[in-house]
Amino acid sequence: MAEAIFAAGCFWGVEAGFRKVDGVQVTAVGYTGGLTEHPCYEDVCTGTTGHAEAVRVEFDPEKVSYERLLEVFWKLHDPTQMNRQGPDLGTQYRSSIFFKDADQEAAAIASKEKEQASGRQRGEIATQIEAASTFYTAEDYHQQYFEKRG
Question: In order of start, what are the domains of the chain with their CATH numbers?
Answer: 2-149 (3.30.1060.10)
Distance CA 76, CA 38 (A): 27
Could you say which DSSP state residue 58 is in? E
pLDDT of residue 35: 94
> Taking the mean position of all CA atoms in its chain, how far away is CA 99?
11
- pLDDT in single tens digits along all 150 residues of the chain: 999 999 999 999 999 999 999 999 999 999 999 999 999 999 999 999 999 999 999 999 999 999 999 999 999 999 999 999 989 999 999 999 999 999 999 999 999 999 999 999 999 999 999 999 999 999 999 999 888 887
Catalytic residue among 4, 7, 10, 76: 10
Distance CA 82, CA 105 (A): 20
* 10 counts as catalytic: yes
Instruction: Give the count of beta carbons closer than 10 Å to the beta carbon of residue 103.
Output: 10
Mean pLDDT of the chain: 96
Task: Kindly report the length of the chain.
Answer: 150
* Edge-to-edge strand list for the sheet holding 52-59: 128-131, 95-99, 2-8, 52-59, 24-32, 136-137
Instruction: Give the count of beta carbons closer than 10 Å to the beta carbon of residue 124.
Output: 10
